[in-house]
Structure 1
């Protein structure tokens, strides 16, 4: 375990985020944000530690066993952090810790206490506030908070009351996280670049007889070389495995004549990339593969072009559905007319998922998709994926040449003031570019396609 706090130049970024959250909860609200705890893989062997995205967003601290408390208008300071006290013996085995003495300066907080003082100090920190914000999905923390309320009720006759309302922290905090700052966009661009480099390396490594897990290994080497890690378990799905949306076995051998779908991204500095590409194992698309691939690509381009401020989040999906449905009708895989096929959902056996999701510190990032039941309008600073697909089951009642083909194309897109920016545009996705890349005729970084 390596104690990591924000670099001095970044400290103000985290302070600004905390101030925005304090403003969002109001002067009568108090918020508790817990760090993640270590998870054990087996016996005394922990999984690599990954901080809670919410806690890291507000502190930049990558240590377990910590707690942040935001107390608006508190005389002794609005921002209090509980951390593990330094333990020389533990540091010898696991590396340096932040400790209570250094925490105020490193994190830019007002006060720091030892984590084992929570039960003693929390009731006093909650005193005088009307609302308590905390993550409702942390059931243990909610139960502990109710215990702190009991402590405060014992002083009710002296005018000491606990907060009267429990509120889910996800509401205000996740709305803040949804709109990315310039600092966050820089990190998302970096994650996109590393993710793109990994996909290009993997495409160059595809050949008959290589195993799916070997392609995943090529990508993970690129991630690690950038001091990153997978933002989720990579999906490498050859042939009909691509028709399993969350295929993660990565245990099959790739064969000439098949396609391979690769869905993977890098997490770098707590920000995620998420790219999907589909390539022919032998470097050339067959006619049926080409037809379906071009249809998915046309749908993705139409969906991306729909992204702009004040456009509904659902607009890109509607564009993708329209293009895919029209193409499936033209290919004879479903019956028309097109509008009727859309209304009745005839495309769904082949395209059964949404076209995108929010992207940020989490690969499926936080933030509501609807407000008061309506799809929310897009705003500058939002980042989303665009990933239509077509999946034809091996036993589908369609011409045999199409059976077992699975195709998805995914990019990461930033909503800008003017429209949008494709962060992952470096990775080739047209048929000509892919075939040139896999034959060695195209370097997407240094050479134009002839």
Structure 2
């Protein structure tokens, strides 16, 4: 899989070009603590190595075939192993990645003296994601500065657009990993339907799902969101010590990560196992939008067009729920009521990143995976409903990767009351 990803990338590089990619930094917390390391997913996508210090150099036009693909790994000694464990050695790294030439990262610039003087263009990656708000200098930033200091007269180009579009169209192997993440996510959700009850905290609910994910050698794709009652109107409320009460709806946005590929699931349902008539009205309104949006999904559509379709459908449902009238919408504008009750887009790309790479104003390719997650929120009624599944975009439509996860109100009630 990783060799195929590299081959796809180098075919897009012009003659005389090299591409350089770097691992992420290990970020500090306080005192001598560090955050759990999370790899640069582009390095993982191209090599299969999630380890700190991994770097990759690709120069398909190098006269020496051994220097057309170069992997760099961390050099570790026995003291490091005793404290932090083993890392891939050169042979293992070569087997995983399919790259024959492997050096240690502390040899990087010495090796680059044999590579970069022979290329005319250097492609470097920086985070250009539309929602990125990072204010910290990254290892990618430092690599860019170092290259320009050492090789100021080379031409520099952006690697992000190439990899973003390539990663947007998933390969069959990637789709299989995403399917597995969705299957594990389903197991966690079904477990919660059997164990959840009034009086539990959000942390206790989240623990059930995380337990199930880890039973299948997966982890959570993001910190689980478990919100009761009016708190369900807060989009990214992390599971906490708040207690769910009898009669409330709970909104759970939680999913598994399998081999760095992420699922993304949301369900809203009554803690006591029975929807009230008003809760059911909200739920079925969102479910209708969820189903109708899916019918518009196919290769070639723009994801931002799905946002528009969803917004129009949601406005109709707001009128049906009595939250506004058509006259209100004419007077105050549609955006006023969307901002009040439907304040997020219906879809984002999904993959190695939870909000994966891809462009909102370009036609979606077959093989893209997106979320379908309309929501209606009304803090005054203590109701927040979001229903989210993951869809594989195909040439003529879509495949719902979560089609077996319960979403009909009656099915959820039945499972909770067995």
Task: Output the TM-score relative to the length of structure 2.
Answer: 0.91
CA contact (8 A) 1:31 1:169 kept: yes
- Distance of aligned partners of 1:84 and 1:436 in 2 relative to their CA distance in 1, 3 Å threshold: same
- Distance of aligned partners of 1:87 and 1:352 in 2 relative to their CA distance in 1, 3 Å threshold: same
CA contact (8 A) 2:206 2:239 kept: no
Question: Which protein is bigger by CA-based radius of gyration?
Answer: 1
Runs of 4+ residues deviating >6 angstroms: none
CA contact (8 A) 2:62 2:118 kept: no
CA contact (8 A) 1:257 1:281 kept: yes
**Cα offsets for 1:366-420 (capped at 9, x unmatched):** 11112xxxxx2222100000000011123xxxxxxxx221110000000123311
CA contact (8 A) 1:322 1:342 kept: no
Is 1:392 aligned to residue 378 of structure 2?
Answer: yes
Is 1:275 aligned to residue 265 of structure 2?
Answer: yes
In the alignment, structure 2 segments of 5+ residues that lack a partner are 128-136
SS at match of 1:25: coil
**Cα offsets for 1:22-59 (capped at 9, x unmatched):** 11122222111112233344444443332211110000
After TM superposition, the structure 1 = structure 2 runs for residues 238-277 of structure 1, keeping only pairs within 5 Å, are 238-277=228-267
Partner of residue 230 from structure 1, selected from 220, 245, 263 = 220
> Take 1:124 and 1:181, find their aligned partners in 2: how far apart are those partners?
33
In the alignment, structure 1 segments of 5+ residues that lack a partner are 1-12, 154-161, 371-375, 395-402, 441-450
| 59-68 or 132-141, which deviates more | 132-141
- Distance of aligned partners of 1:103 and 1:258 in 2 relative to their CA distance in 1, 3 Å threshold: closer
Which position in structure 2 is the counterpart of 1:357? 348
- Distance of aligned partners of 1:272 and 1:139 in 2 relative to their CA distance in 1, 3 Å threshold: closer
Partner of residue 394 from structure 2, selected from 416, 435, 443 = 416
> Take 2:114 and 2:138, find their aligned partners in 1: how far apart are those partners?
22
| 180-189 or 121-130, which deviates more | 121-130
- Distance of aligned partners of 1:141 and 1:271 in 2 relative to their CA distance in 1, 3 Å threshold: closer
- Distance of aligned partners of 1:316 and 1:152 in 2 relative to their CA distance in 1, 3 Å threshold: closer
> Take 1:311 and 1:163, find their aligned partners in 2: how far apart are those partners?
38
After TM superposition, the structure 1 = structure 2 runs for residues 324-339 of structure 1, keeping only pairs within 5 Å, are 324-336=314-326
Root mean square deviation, CA, Å:
2.1
Is 1:437 aligned to residue 406 of structure 2?
Answer: no
> Take 1:206 and 1:150, find their aligned partners in 2: how far apart are those partners?
58
CA contact (8 A) 2:250 2:268 kept: yes
- Distance of aligned partners of 1:338 and 1:359 in 2 relative to their CA distance in 1, 3 Å threshold: farther
Is 1:108 aligned to residue 86 of structure 2?
Answer: no
- Distance of aligned partners of 1:145 and 1:357 in 2 relative to their CA distance in 1, 3 Å threshold: closer
> Take 2:350 and 2:143, find their aligned partners in 1: how far apart are those partners?
32
| 89-98 or 428-437, which deviates more | 89-98
CA contact (8 A) 1:128 1:163 kept: no
Q: Give 1:63 shift.
A: 1.3
> Take 2:186 and 2:19, find their aligned partners in 1: how far apart are those partners?
38
Q: Give 1:96 shift.
A: 2.2
SS at match of 2:415: helix
Is 1:25 aligned to residue 16 of structure 2?
Answer: no
**Cα offsets for 1:108-127 (capped at 9, x unmatched):** 21422221122323243211
Partner of residue 42 from structure 2, selected from 54, 72, 77 = 54
> Take 1:151 and 1:331, find their aligned partners in 2: how far apart are those partners?
63
Which position in structure 1 is the counterpart of 2:368? 382
CA contact (8 A) 2:24 2:138 kept: no
- Distance of aligned partners of 1:143 and 1:44 in 2 relative to their CA distance in 1, 3 Å threshold: closer
Which position in structure 1 is the counterpart of 2:22? 34
- Distance of aligned partners of 1:141 and 1:207 in 2 relative to their CA distance in 1, 3 Å threshold: closer
Q: Give 1:139 shift.
A: 4.8
Q: Give 1:352 shift.
A: 1.1
Which position in structure 1 is the counterpart of 2:73? 83
> Take 2:102 and 2:365, find their aligned partners in 1: how far apart are those partners?
36
- Distance of aligned partners of 1:325 and 1:106 in 2 relative to their CA distance in 1, 3 Å threshold: closer
| 342-351 or 168-177, which deviates more | 342-351
SS at match of 2:294: helix
| 48-57 or 81-90, which deviates more | 81-90
**Cα offsets for 1:108-150 (capped at 9, x unmatched):** 2142222112232324321132321112246554444444444
SS at match of 1:48: coil
SS at match of 1:236: strand
CA contact (8 A) 2:221 2:354 kept: yes
Is 1:96 aligned to residue 86 of structure 2?
Answer: yes
Partner of residue 298 from structure 2, selected from 295, 308, 311 = 308
| 311-320 or 109-118, which deviates more | 311-320
- Distance of aligned partners of 1:150 and 1:36 in 2 relative to their CA distance in 1, 3 Å threshold: closer
Task: Output the TM-score relative to the length of structure 1.
Answer: 0.85
**Cα offsets for 1:319-357 (capped at 9, x unmatched):** 322222112113321120598489632431100110010
